[in-house]
Amino acid sequence: MVHYIFALLLLTTPVAARAQESAVAASTFVNSLSLWVAVVVGIIASLLVFADAKRIGGGVLGKVYYYFAIGMLLIVLGFLAVVVPPWADMFTIMRVHDGMFILGYLIIAIGARKIIVAYDKPTKPVVKENAESLDQVV
């Protein structure tokens, strides 16, 4: 997957170089291209993490993957709320953008916290049946 991203970036570089006939047109084109590449990469990365979470299944790691995927998707959607043509007044757009960013990072932090909680959970020692002393505890 990383190879495809690098190939996309390498293929778009000559196009951006050819678009430098006008300084204004070049800066608008490059900014727009890098902006949409960031949006597409963010959506694809979120979907891949969702797919990996489904493949892993249940358990702590699977749940954490779901938290990460949802958080990443919210961050991309918050970014997209500002990028698309104005769909509401600027105050509303910025509140949606900020809210999605905050919620996305919060969900990722909750997922990371679940790893720590699972890691710190004490394990019960396995005791052999008819164990007469602590030496026989596995």
Q: For residue range 21-51, what is the model confidence (pLDDT) as tens digits?
A: 433 444 454 467 788 888 899 999 999 999 9
What's the angle, vertex CA 129, arms to CA 128 and CA 130, rounded to 5?
115
Give the single-character DSSP code of 113.
H
Any idea where the domains of the chain sit in the sequence?
Answer: 2-122
Whether 128 has a pLDDT exceeding 70, the answer reads: no
- What region does 59 belong to: left with phi over 0, alpha with psi -120 to 50, or beta? left
Residue whose C-alpha is closest to residue 66's, from 78, 56, 53 = 53
Give the whole-angstrom CA distance, residue 109 versus residue 68: 8
pLDDT attached to residue 32: 75
The span from the first CA to the last CA of the chain, in angstroms, equals 44
Mean pLDDT across 85-93: 84
Q: For residue range 56-79, what is the model confidence (pLDDT) as tens digits?
A: 887 888 899 999 999 999 999 998
Identify the band that residue 95 occupies on the pLDDT scale cut at 50, 70 and 90: very high
